[in-house]
Chain A
Amino acid sequence: MTMPEIFQYEFMRNALAAGLLASVACGIVGVYVVVKKIVSMSGSIAHASFGGIGLGYLLKFSPVLGAMLFALLSAITMGLVTRKTKLPEDTATGILWALGMALGVIFIGLTPGYAPDLMSYLFGNILTVPASDIYLMAALDVIIVALVIAFYKEFLLLSFDEEFGTVVGMPVDGLYLLLLCMVALTVVVLIRVVGMILVIAMLTFPAALARQFTHDMKKMMLLAVVFGMVFTFGGLWLSYVLNLASGATIILLSGLVLLLSYTATGLRHRFSAHKTAI
């Protein structure tokens, strides 16, 4: 297949759109996830969304909407619990993670018959994203980008020094909840592409890689979006050539590149340290 031929198929055009939309969300929000060190918390939000997928199957509404509901609910719960109670963040993360998954399993068990596409929600399949989900993803991307533009200076201060944020009168708890809700929306955008189990990788890898190349947060976001696109389409192409699952191939490719980048940085530091020693 040559490139233009590929886009004669609707599913390929949808896959392209889904990949682009997913990269925008994961690149931008991923930067906050990485610099604010809320990776495992974001993983918990992603996994808790499985409860919503199950509920969607059981009550016969869109599992994606169910996932959005549960992701937002778990983000808000997590934010309130870690801010208003003495429960350690780590513990709250584990509890919500498992509870959401367990609910999902129960709901799907209660659903009569077979749960179609369940695997695509768990592990993603960029080639089967329906047009309706593309519109939802586009709408969520618009919301995410608008929030980041509106609250850029707030999120920067929140991520860098929350205590100082409080001192200068910023509503840190509210902004923290908003940030977690943005993570929840990003989970929904990514769920169709890499699946809820692997969402955390797309939230982390492109941003972590971008951090290797710049100290400017805006540039880091742009770079992370670009890396997200490269990984998504590179992974998709590889999965086609090697006949592998697309979601997992996308993650493995990005993981490999990240690992190579860390190794190169490590070697360069060692080499320059060696040179100074001489």
Chain B
Amino acid sequence: MMGSDVVRLEDVWVSYDGTAALDGINLRVSEHDFLGIIGPNGGGKSTLLKVLLGLVTPSRGMVTVLGNPPEKSRNKVGYVPQHSNFDRNFPVSVQEVTMMGRYGKTGLLRRYNSSDRQAAEKALSRVGMLDHAGSQIGQLSGGQQQRAFIARALVADPELLLLDEPMASVDSAMQTEFYELLEDLKKEMTIIMVSHDIGAVSVFVDKIACLNVQLYYHGSREITPEILEATYKCPVQLIAHGDIPHRVLREH
């Protein structure tokens, strides 16, 4: 049943200027999995997503996404980048941002047509942003911007959705709503979500991977303080203290 693996990494190594970012990663993600990748900042979580998108080429190892090399599968992958890096003042509307996700289906020199516009409308209404389609992206709240970027990722009907720290800009009141959206999406696609917020991730995902340059654990979402300690090294005292992780992890 190797064909049903949506993502397969075998002994993947990535380094930036001699510093290892990913160190012998092996990972398999099956269809309709909802995988949360947790680990400290700088632990290689974003790099791992970039490897899956073909933006970073590993120095060693094998990567397949939906049965092909990452660059070949890009039109089936939706990507929601980390929120911080965009110009809030940029003259672009939510509708225009969403349409950008249709580029892979439209291509160079061809104009977006009515089916692209319908897809954008559908994606925007799915994330509850249709009313804001005409707004400039920077005038929205952080959570609304995040929704617009999710719409951009959904507009091309991806089979795999990659989310990089999606919770960072969503205020706590919106978090539940946000997870309900993901809960809904997971029926249709495989989701990989990267976060440094263990508590938030573990309640909703089906599987967890702990990443800090090396992959410390991969499996069901019941993780022990020992694994967390291995993943987080020093800060673990803070996290493993008391039974907070247990309680959060086991509740559903």
Contacts and interface: CB of A to CB of B under 8 A. Distances in A.
B96 A156 contact: yes
Given A161-B100, A163-B81, A170 B90 contact: no
Interface in B146-168: 152, 156
Interface stretch (A20-28, A69-77, A146-154): A146-154
A262 interface: no
Interface residues of A, number: 27
A170 B103 contact: yes
Given A156-B96, A170-B108, A215-B136, A35 B87 contact: yes
Interface in A92-110: none
Interface size class of B (residues with CB under 8 A): 20 to 34
Interface stretch (B20-28, B72-80, B191-199, B229-237): B72-80
A interface majority secondary structure: helix
Contact of A35 (B55, B90, B100, B107): B90
Interface in A1-54: 31, 35, 37
A167 B77 contact: yes
A271 interface: no
Contact of B89 (A156, A161, A211): A211
A154 B77 CA distance: 19
A153 B92 contact: no
Interface in A136-189: 150-151, 153-154, 156-157, 159-161, 163-171
A159 B96 CA distance: 13
Given A153-B103, A215-B136, A216-B93, A171 B87 contact: no
Given A151-B109, A164-B79, A167-B77, A211 B91 contact: yes
Contacts of A62: none
B6 interface: no
- Among B86, B92, B107, find the residue whose CB has the most chain A CB atoms closer than 10 A: B92
Q: Which 10 A-B pairs have the closest CB atoms?
A: A215-B136, A168-B103, A168-B104, A217-B91, A215-B91, A169-B104, A167-B79, A157-B100, A220-B91, A167-B53
Given A169-B74, A211-B91, 18 more contacts: A35-B87, A35-B91, A37-B87, A153-B100, A153-B111, A154-B108, A157-B103, A160-B90, A163-B55, A167-B77, A168-B75, A168-B103, A169-B104, A170-B108, A215-B93, A215-B136, A215-B138, A216-B91
Interface of A: 31, 35, 37, 150-151, 153-154, 156-157, 159-161, 163-171, 211, 214-217, 220
